[in-house]
Amino acid sequence: MQNASLARARIAQHPHRRQGSKSQMTSAKNILMLMSVAGAIAIAPLIRISPAIPAQVEFTPPAQPTTSIANPQLIYTFVEHLGTIKSLAFTPDSQTLISGGSDNDGIIRLWNTTTGKRRGIINRAHQTAIESVVISPDGQTLASGGDDNTINLWNLKNNKFTRSFVGHTSNVLSLAVTPNGKVLVSGALDGIRMWDLLQQRPLATLTRFDNLIYTVAISPDGQTLASGDNIGVVKLWDLSTGKLIRTVPGAHANTVTKLVFTPDGNTLISASRDRTIKLWNASSGELVRTLTGHNNWVNTIAINPNGQTLASGGRDGIKLWNLTTGELLNTLYGHSDWVSAITFSPDGTKLATGGFDRRVNLWLLQ
C-alpha cells in the first residue's frame, strides 16, 4: 500500500506525466485516550543552520510607484531551490517568506520580503520533498510535512528543530493549523490526523486509507475541517467531535488539489485537476459558482485577506479572480513552467508564487 501511495505522490509532482491513479471515526473516548498518550513522537539530532547570508536574488524595480491587486509587480525572484517549489508560507507579520522544495530538495529557505535577502536556511529538513509548510498564528512554530511520512516542528526564533510527529505511513501532502494555534491537522496519502501543537503529541485519527488526501483546510472559526481527495470528493468535518458533517461526492471530476475558506468562513473554495475552481456554500454544501479559464490542471489557489481576490496557478500561469463577480482580472506569466504554489501575505500587500522552474517570485500588490 505504501509503495503504491509513494508512486502516486511522485506522479503528482510531475503533471506532465501520465497520472497513475473506512473512514474510521475516532470516538470521543478514543480521542481522550490518545490525548493522554504522548507516543508517536521522535526527537531528531540538532541541525546546523547556516547564517543569513546574501542569496542569489534577481531584483526587478517597480516600473511605477504604485500598483494594484489586479496588476501586481514582480519585485524579487529567488533562485536557490534545486527542485519544484511545493510549499510557501508567510510569517504573521508578513516580513518573512518560507519556501520548501521538492524533487529531493528537502531544504527550507527563509526570505526577507523587504530586502529580498535570505534570512536563513534549514538543511535536511526532510529526507526528500517538502510538500507543505504552515506557521502557527503566533509566528513561533513552523510545521513541515514531507514525502518521508513525517511532520517536523521548528522554532522560528532560532530556526532549530524541536519535534517530529511520526504517525503517518505515507506522504504528508497538506497541513493546516487552527486559528488558536492549538491543533495541527495533517492530510496524507493514508488519511487525516490531528496533533496537539502545544503539548506536541497526537490527538486523533479522522480517517485511514479512505481516499488519498491531497489537501486540508480549517475554517476561520476553527470549528470545521475541509478535506479533498484523489477522486474529487470534498468532505467537511467537525473538529471538536471528529465527526463527518457532510460529503460532497463528485465535487470535482479529478483530484482536489487545494482548499481554502474565505475570511468570513461563508465560502469554501476548491481547485482541481479537472481545470476548474469551485465556490461552495460552507453551511449547505451547495455550489455557488464555477471559475473556468485554466487550460490544464489547477495546482494551487490562495485568497487575499481582503476576501475579494483569488489567485490560482497552473500550467498557463497565475490567474487573478474577482470572487464577487467571478471575473478573471489578470493573468501573470512570471514562471517558465507550471505554477505549483501560491500564497498571499497576511497584510495583503504581497503575493508569492513558486513553480516547476525552481523559482520563487515575490509580487507587490499595493
What is the three-state SS of 301-338? Answer: EEECCCCCEEEEEECCEEEEEECCCCCEEEEECCCCCC
Residue 36: per-residue pLDDT: 35
Is residue 67 a contact partner of residue 86, using CB atoms and an 8 Å limit?
no
Backbone angles phi, psi at 31, to 5 degrees: -60, -45
From the list 84, 170, 185, the residue with the least C-alpha distance to 134 is 185
- 3-state class (DSSP) for residue 28: helix
| Tens-digit pLDDT string for the chain (366 aa) | 434 443 443 444 444 333 333 333 333 334 333 333 333 333 233 233 333 333 454 544 443 434 567 789 999 999 999 899 999 999 999 999 999 988 778 889 999 999 999 999 988 888 888 999 999 999 999 999 999 999 999 999 999 999 999 999 999 999 999 999 999 999 999 999 999 999 999 999 998 876 799 999 999 999 999 999 999 999 999 999 999 999 998 999 999 999 999 999 999 999 999 999 999 999 999 999 999 999 999 999 999 999 999 999 999 999 999 999 999 999 999 999 999 999 999 999 999 999 999 999 999 997
Give every CB contact of residue 44 below 8 A, 6+ residues apart in sequence.
152, 161, 164
- 3-state class (DSSP) for residue 197: coil
Residue 177: per-residue pLDDT: 98
Is residue 336 a contact partner of residue 365, using CB atoms and an 8 Å limit?
no
Q: Which three cell numbers stand for residue 185?
A: 491537522
Catalogue all structural domains in the chain, each as residue range(s) with its CATH number.
2-364 (2.130.10.10)
Residue 286: per-residue pLDDT: 96
Taking the alpha carbons at both ends of the chain, their separation in whole angstroms is 48
From the list 92, 300, 267, the residue with the least C-alpha distance to 177 is 92
Q: Quote the pTM value.
A: 0.82
Is residue 252 a contact partner of residue 278, using CB atoms and an 8 Å limit?
yes
Name residue 175's beta-bridge partners.
Answer: 186
Residue 56: per-residue pLDDT: 52
